[in-house]
Amino acid sequence: MDDVPDPDPLFSPLIEHAIELSAQWHDGTYRKSVWRDPAFEVPEGKEIQIPVIAHLAAVASIVHRAGWDETVVAAAYLHDAIEDMNEHGQRLRRKQLRDAVGAEVTRLVAQVSEQKLNDDGEMRPWRDRKEDYL
């Protein structure tokens, strides 16, 4: 079947790479809260945990449907990568992200990332972070 052309991919290579990188970085991490009732019965004593990648995919879907280009969609998948630690307590450095997906995606991710730590490496107060972001 060498004469059969490959079908067009659903996403560009950049978006596919952003999805994979985001899924790897956020593997084993979950949303802080669940704001919808479960769609099915949850056994007593159990909690629903929503993987972070579900939030990232939802944001990226909105951006994609709104007609933004692949760079913005890739940044949407990665928008929490710089500010959120992974399951192992590591922080993704901007240089690492830039090396993986390029300067433009990294610039967009940095623009929507809040600075969670102060110069001493301590967590900044929630209100200060939100006011700075606005």
Tell me, what's the pLDDT at 6?
Answer: 66
Residue 1, pLDDT above cutoff 80: no
CATH number of residue 78's parent domain: 1.10.3210.10
Does residue 96 form part of some domain? yes
Does residue 63 form part of some domain? yes
Does residue 8 form part of some domain? no
How many residues are there in the chain?
A: 134
Tell me, what's the pLDDT at 120?
Answer: 82
Work out the average pLDDT over 127-134: 82
Tell me, what's the pLDDT at 48?
Answer: 83
The whole domain housing 102 covers 13-133
Does residue 78 form part of some domain? yes
**Residues whose CB is less than 8 angstroms from the CB of residue 23 and which lie 6 or more positions away in sequence, other chains included:** 53
Does residue 44 form part of some domain? yes
Tens of pLDDT, residues 34-70: 777 878 888 898 888 899 999 999 999 999 999 999 9
- How many domains, in total, are found in the chain? 1
Single out the residue of 62, 37, 58 nearest to residue 47, CA to CA: 37
Measured CA to CA, the distance from residue 26 to residue 9 in angstroms comes to: 24
Does residue 101 form part of some domain? yes
Q: Where residue 12 falls among pLDDT bands split at 50, 70, 90?
A: very high
Question: Which of the 8 DSSP states describes residue 8?
Answer: P
Tell me, what's the pLDDT at 130?
Answer: 84
Measured CA to CA, the distance from residue 105 to residue 72 in angstroms comes to: 7
Does residue 6 form part of some domain? no
Does residue 80 form part of some domain? yes
Tens of pLDDT, residues 72-124: 999 999 999 998 999 999 989 999 999 999 999 999 999 998 888 888 878 88
The DSSP annotation for 46-91 comes to: -----BHHHHHHHHHHHHHHTT--HHHHHHHHTTTTTTS--TTS--
